[in-house]
């Protein structure tokens, strides 16, 4: 039996688990994005399978050709939302879409710094975004905000485990469906851990 034929069932299961996680989520949440290269940089010009969806992006590790995965999780590392976008997509735009139905205190890195985003996202007594100020900003932060930023490493553990232990990054599939089947099965295995 071809495992790619069951991808819709796996997607429904992932969606239902994410909805259950949202209902029981902790107050503090983390959002970040990571690179999901579809091939080595040297092969990007010849890569045809994900050509319509992939683009050049930049991460802390340098340039890559592929997608970007944004993820929101709580303090218990339970995944609440996942979204795949092109490698050059703005993180702040993705943040708005994927977290519009989730309440709580959101902690993000400097890539999410935007007064407009903070004002638009804010709901009194429901949700707030704390984006860590960039080093060149003159913005002060409270001791509470500093402690919140210290918890941000939790989301990096999610990314590390998805990539290293659950096989999120691959260049083996030969179809778009194969790539997304790999991504969905990796996320499903991770959230069922």
Q: Tens-digit pLDDT profile for the chain (193 aa)? A: 477 778 999 999 999 999 999 999 999 999 999 999 999 889 888 888 888 998 998 888 889 999 999 999 999 999 999 999 999 999 999 999 999 999 999 999 888 888 888 899 998 989 999 888 777 666 667 788 888 888 988 999 999 999 999 999 998 888 898 999 999 999 999 999 8
Query: What sign results for the dihedral spanned by CA atoms 136, 137, 139, 144?
Result: negative
Residue 138's pLDDT is 66
User: What CA dihedral angle connects 30, 120, 21 and 130, to 10 degrees?
Assistant: 20
Q: How far is CA 24 from CA 66, 73, 192, in A?
A: 33, 12, 15
User: Tell me, what's the pLDDT at 16?
Assistant: 96
Structure tokens at 148: 């919140």
Q: Among 64, 70, 72, which Cα is nearest to 21's?
A: 72
Question: What per-residue confidence (pLDDT) applies to 14?
Answer: 96
Helices (H) and strands (E) in the chain, counts: 6, 6
> CA separation (Å) from 1 to 4, 5, 13, 62, 183?
9, 8, 19, 39, 19
| Strand 28-37 versus strand 104-108 pairing type | parallel
This prediction's pTM: 0.87
């Amino acid at each position: 039996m071809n495992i790619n034929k069951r991808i819709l069932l796996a997607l429904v299961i992932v969606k239902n688990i994410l909805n259950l996680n949202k209902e029981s989520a902790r107050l503090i949440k983390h959002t970040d994005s990571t690179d999901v290269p579809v091939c080595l940089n040297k092969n990007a010009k010849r890569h045809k399978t994900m050509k319509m969806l992939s683009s050049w992006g930049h991460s802390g590790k340098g340039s890559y050709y592929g997608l970007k995965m944004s993820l929101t999780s709580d303090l218990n590392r339970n995944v609440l939302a996942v979204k795949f976008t092109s490698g050059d997509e703005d993180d702040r735009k993705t943040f708005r879409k994927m977290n519009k139905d989730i309440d709580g205190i959101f902690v993000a890195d400097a890539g999410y710094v935007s007064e407009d985003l903070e004002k638009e996202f804010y709901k009194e007594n429901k949700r707030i975004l704390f984006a860590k100020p960039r080093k060149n900003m003159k913005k002060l932060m409270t001791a509470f905000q500093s402690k919140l930023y210290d918890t941000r490493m939790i989301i990096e553990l999610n990314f590390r485990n998805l990539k290293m232990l659950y096989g999120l990054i691959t260049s083996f599939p030969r179809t778009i469906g194969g790539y997304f089947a790999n991504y969905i099965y990796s996320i499903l295995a991770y959230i069922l851990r």
